[in-house]
Amino acid sequence: MIKNKGIILNIIGSFFLLMGIAAVLNAIYLRDYAGILWFCYTGLILIGISILKRNSFLLTVQLNILAIPLIFWTIDFIYTLIFGNSLLGVVDYFFINGPLFSKIISIQHLFTIPLSFYALSILKSKREDAWKLSFIEIVLIYFVTLILTPEASNINCVYGSCINFVPKFYTFFWFVSNFIMILLTNLVINNLYFSKKES
């Protein structure tokens, strides 16, 4: 049973790592160099590494950052498929003409969270303070994106809202909303079965 779990984790981890590398290479191929810094792309690579290394702490750090945004993406994607128009405006890019391989990579938004939580349920989270590193990572992501990418690309939504809602004091909103999503996700992880220590 333990051996089977190890094989499953290796498959999931390798899959995420390869998807992340493919996403980065695709961005380079399309000369969309700013796109390399999308945190869902770097998140794929870090999730893959954390699973392969059996590092539940690093995996939780990434889940804290990605879980709620990817849930919003999934809701908007399903809504658009059913009703023909976007609810939040998050997935508009997916339904316009563009490279097929980019769309295939974008489908990772649908399965990253379920597969990652499944991996975490096997690994078991050993610590409850992953939110601290998640905070540090999100701050680094913000400033690195701001420094290295043009405003027109709006990578990681640091320059403006990526949804059909434009709040005032956007920079403040960006940090507060991300911090709240991190805390909520970490709270859920700490209180669900996959966060319990193995006896």
* Residue corresponding to tokens 């051996």: 3
Taking only the tens place, the pLDDT of each residue in 119-153 is: 999 998 888 999 999 999 999 999 999 999 999 99
Which residue, 16, 2, 4, 11, is CA-closest to 49? 16
3-state secondary structure of 26: helix
Over its length of 199 residues, how does the chain's per-residue pLDDT go in tens digits?
A: 567 889 999 999 999 999 999 999 999 999 999 999 999 999 999 999 999 999 999 999 999 999 999 999 999 999 999 999 999 989 999 998 889 999 999 999 999 999 999 999 999 888 899 999 999 999 999 999 999 999 999 999 999 998 887 778 999 999 999 999 999 999 999 988 655 554 3
CB-hemisphere CA count at 13 Å for 9? 23
CA 64, CA 135: separation in Å to the nearest integer?
9
Residue 120 phi, psi (nearest 5)? -65, -35
* CB-CB contact of 174 with 142 (8 Å): yes
* Residue corresponding to tokens 């890019």: 93
CB-hemisphere CA count at 13 Å for 185? 27
